[in-house]
């Protein structure tokens, strides 16, 4: 297998996923791309806007790309600041990838969806794989529409496109890029640098979450799974844990006893309230064997250990 192209590789997930792919397939086999240069370059990287049809086609053909991981997107909180621009980037980017994948006969495409596809009509506890989804954000609308387009391309053209509805992702390696779950990363930096944090969500806002290591492993396991195992071509529900800001703060206090949290909810509270509290990921477990490794206590301990060992990554 050769040449993987990662789109939106400079982001929170792309930074870590690109490294994992390079460890596995070799530095030269994984081509990263984004609007800008990466903070640290560890292999071939090019500047590419995902909406650039001719540009994407040229990159695929000139480099013999066989698989695409399409991560480029505007996330939930940032997306509400310019809904139409968010729709254009998230949808035009995806349609460009799907069209190019069919035209260039790519082997496989990964498209990350999100728990943001859930909305006020969706069951809040143990959200099933299929239910009523009427997302309240432009980001959620674009991700749900994206899932439907992936399902369409799989059925109409036989494109092997695979997708996960990621919950909120928490990791130490890279900063988050404008989501509603960003508090769960910021809190660790603030705790270690200042001993206190002002949270933009209410203390009892329960959301599904996952440690970065689990998210990356899930992505690779889904992409490795034999084709006959993949029965869902929209996106798989996936989760590892659910917690509130209050519960996360209490867990951090077990490591940093003086840590203090305050709450000043802003517009992101309404976004979080439109999502669900826990997810049933039974289909991913049954069809391709998904199992998370990290719970809240294990994630918290590892975040603190890793950030203490890499103080240059701390952001205040």
Least distance between ligand NAD and beta carbon 185 (Å): 9
3-state SS track over the chain: CCCEEEECCCCHHHHHHHHHHHHHHCHHHEEEEECCCCCCCCCCEEECCCCCHHHHHHHHHHHCCCEEEECCCCCHHHHCCCHHHHHHHHHHHHHHHHHHHHHCCCCEEEEEEEHHHCCCCCCCCCECCCCCCCCCCHHHHHHHHHHHHHHHHHHHHCCCEEEEEECEEECCCCCCCCCCCCHHHHHHHHHHHHCEEEECCCCCCCEEEEEHHHHHHHHHHHHHCCHHHCCCCCCEECCCEEECHHHHHHHHHHHCCCCEEEECCCCHHHHHHHCCCCECCHHHHHHHCCCCCCCHHHHHHHHHHHHHHCHHHCCC
Per-residue binder mask for ligand NAD (CB under 6 A), 216-255, x = binder: ----------------------------------------
Site for ligand SER, residues 113 to 142, rule: CB under 6 A: 114-116
- The residue from 139, 166, 183, 211 that is catalytic is 139
| The only residue of 59, 68, 89, 159 in contact with ligand NAD, by rule CB under 6 A | 89
CA separation for the pair 19, 15 (Å, rounded):
7
Residue burial 228-245, b: 16+ Cβ < 10 Å; e: rest: eebebbbbbbbbbbbbbb
Residue nearest to ligand NAD (CB): 11
Q: How many CB atoms lie within 10 A of CB 191?
A: 25
**Window of 65-73, 125-133, 187-195, 256-264 that interacts with ligand NAD by CB under 6 A:** 65-73
- Applying CB under 6 A, which part among 44-52, 54-62, 186-194, 271-279 lies near ligand NAD? 44-52
Binding site partner of 72, from ligand SER, ligand NAD, none, Cβ cut-off 5-8 A by kind = ligand NAD
Q: Decide which of ligand SER, ligand NAD, none touches 32; Cβ closer than 5 to 8 Å per partner kind.
A: none
By the rule CB under 6 A, 35 interacts with ligand NAD: yes
273 binds, among ligand NAD, ligand SER, none (CB under 5 to 8 A by kind): none
Binding partner of 76, given ligand SER, ligand NAD, none, CB within 5-8 angstroms per partner class: ligand SER
Q: How far apart are CA 166 and CA 215, in angstroms?
A: 8
Q: Is 38 in the site for ligand NAD (CB under 6 A)?
A: no
Q: Looking at residues 169 to 188 of the shown chain, list those that interact with ligand SER (rule: CB under 6 A).
A: 179-181
What is the distance between the alpha carbons of residues 122 and 133, in angstroms, rounded to a whole number?
Answer: 6
Name the residue nearer to ligand SER (CB basis): 60 or 210. Answer: 210
The residue (of 96 and 114) whose beta carbon lies closer to ligand SER is: 114
- In sign, the C-alpha dihedral spanning 142, 188, 209, 120 is negative
CB of 52 to ligand NAD, least distance (A): 8
- Residue at token pair 């705790």: 191
Interface with ligand NAD in residues 176-205 (CB under 6 A): 176-179, 181
Q: Is 139 a catalytic residue?
A: yes
Subset of residues 136 to 175 that bind ligand NAD, contact rule: CB under 6 A? 166, 168-169
Mark the segment that binds ligand NAD (CB under 6 A) among 19-27, 47-55, 229-237, 238-246: 47-55
Positions in the binding site for ligand SER (CB under 6 A): 75-76, 114-116, 168, 179-181
* Residues classed as catalytic: 139
Q: Which residues of this chain interact with ligand NAD, rule CB under 6 A?
A: 8, 10-14, 34-35, 49-51, 71-73, 75, 89, 93, 112, 114, 166, 168-169, 176-179, 181
């Amino acid at each position: 297998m050769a040449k993987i192209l990662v789109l939106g590789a400079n982001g929170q997930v792309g930074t870590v996923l690109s490294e994992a792919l390079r460890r596995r397939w070799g530095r030269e086999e994984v081509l990263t791309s984004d609007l800008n240069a990466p903070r640290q370059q560890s292999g071939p990287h090019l500047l590419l806007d995902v909406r650039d049809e001719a540009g994407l086609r040229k990159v695929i053909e000139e480099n013999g790309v066989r698989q695409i991981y399409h991560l480029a997107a505007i996330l939930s909180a940032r997306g509400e600041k310019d809904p139409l621009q968010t729709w254009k980037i998230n949808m035009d980017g995806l349609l460009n990838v799907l069209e190019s994948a069919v035209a260039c006969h790519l082997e496989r495409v990964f498209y990350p969806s999100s728990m943001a596809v859930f909305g006020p009509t969706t069951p809040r506890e143990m959200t099933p794989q299929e239910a009523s989804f009427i997302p309240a954000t432009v980001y959620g609308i674009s991700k749900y529409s994206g899932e439907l387009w992936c399902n369409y391309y799989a059925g109409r053209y036989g494109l092997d496109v695979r997708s996960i509805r990621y919950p909120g992702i928490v990791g130490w390696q890279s900063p988050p890029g404008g989501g509603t779950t960003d508090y769960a990363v910021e809190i660790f930096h603030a705790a270690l640098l200042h001993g206190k944090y002002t949270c933009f969500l209410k203390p009892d806002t329960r959301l599904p979450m996952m440690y970065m290591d689990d998210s990356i492993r899930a992505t690779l396991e889904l992409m490795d799974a034999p084709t006959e195992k993949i029965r869902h071509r929209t996106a798989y529900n996936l989760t590892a844990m659910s917690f509130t800001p209050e519960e996360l703060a209490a867990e951090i206090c077990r490591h940093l006893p003086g840590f203090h949290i305050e709450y000043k909810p802003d517009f992101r509270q309404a976004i979080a309230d439109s999502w669900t509290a826990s997810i049933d990921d039974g289909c991913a477990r049954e069809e391709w064997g998904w199992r998370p490794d990290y719970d809240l206590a294990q994630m918290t301990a590892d975040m603190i250990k890793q950030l203490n060992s890499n103080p240059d990554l701390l952001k205040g």
